[in-house]
Amino acid sequence: MFDNQNYVERYQLSSISNFMYKVYGWMTAGLSITAFTAYSIYDQQALFQAIIQNKILFFGILIAQIVLVIGLSALINKINFFFAATGFVVYSALVGVTLSVIFAVYQIQSIYMVFGLTAGIFLIMALYGYFTKADLTSVGNLLLMLLLGIILCSVVNIFVHSKMFDFVISFISVIVFTGLIAYDVQKIKYLAVEMQSHNESMGKIAIIGALTIYLDFINLFLNLLNLLGKRKD
C-alpha cells in the first residue's frame, strides 16, 4: 500500500515536471522566433523602413497581436492543438516584427545585456514560483490590479509625453512583471495538477501557459530596456 502510494506520488511529480518542460519549451521557441524575426526584419532595411513608415500596417500588426492573444485564451477549449500551436507561433513572429524597432533605438550590446538580465530574473522567479509552498494567489491578484493601472497610465502618457512618468511606469512595471512570473508559474503548476486526467487537453494548456510566461518575459525585458538600455546617438 505504501509502495503504491509512493509510486503514484512519483508518477504525479514526473507528469507535472514533463508538463512544465513542455511549457518552457514552447516559451523558448516563442522567444527564439521573436528574436529571429526582429533581427531579420531590421537587417533588411528596405522591409524595416516599409513597416515602420506605414503607420496603418504597423498598428494593424499590433492589433493583430491583441486579437490573437484574446482569441487563443478565449477559444483554447474549442480549438485543437494544431491551431493553438499555429496561433502561438504566428503571435511570436508578429511580436518580432514590432520589436525590430529596438535594434534601431538601442545599442546591440545593451540589448544583449538587458536580455541576459531578464533571463536571470526570470529563472530566479520561475524557480521560486515552482518550489515555494506559499500561496501566491493574493499577491497575484494585487499585481494584476497594478497591471491594469499601468495600462491606464500608459494610455494617458501617450498624450502627456512625460519622460518622468514613463520612467515611473517602467519602474513599477519591472516590479509587477517580476512578481507575475512567480505567480504565473505557480498557477500553471497547479493547473497541471488539476488537468492530469485530461491528457488530450494538456498540449493546448501547455501552449497557453507558455504564452502567459512569454508575455511576462517580453514585458519585463522591454521595461528593463527602457530603464537601463543605452540608446544610439
pLDDT tens for each residue of 5-43 = 453 445 466 678 889 999 999 999 999 999 999 999 999
- Mean pLDDT for the stretch of residues 72-86: 90
Residue 27, C-alpha cell as written in the block:
516559451
Q: Provide, rounded to the nearest whole percent, the portion of the chain with pLDDT above 90.
A: 77
End-to-end CA distance of the chain: 70
Please state the rounded mean pLDDT for residues 136-163. 92
**For residue 3, pLDDT beyond 70:** no
Can you give the residue ranges of every domain in the chain?
A: 2-228
Return d(Cα 120, Cα 202) in angstroms, integer.
28
Residue 229, φ and ψ in degrees, nearest 5: -65, 140
Q: 44 pLDDT band (50/70/90 cuts)?
A: very high
Residue 61 and residue 94 in contact, taking contact as beta carbons nearer than 8 Å: yes
Confidence at 196, pLDDT banded by 50, 70, 90: low
CA distance 59 to 46: 19
pTM for the whole structure: 0.91
Residue type, 16: I
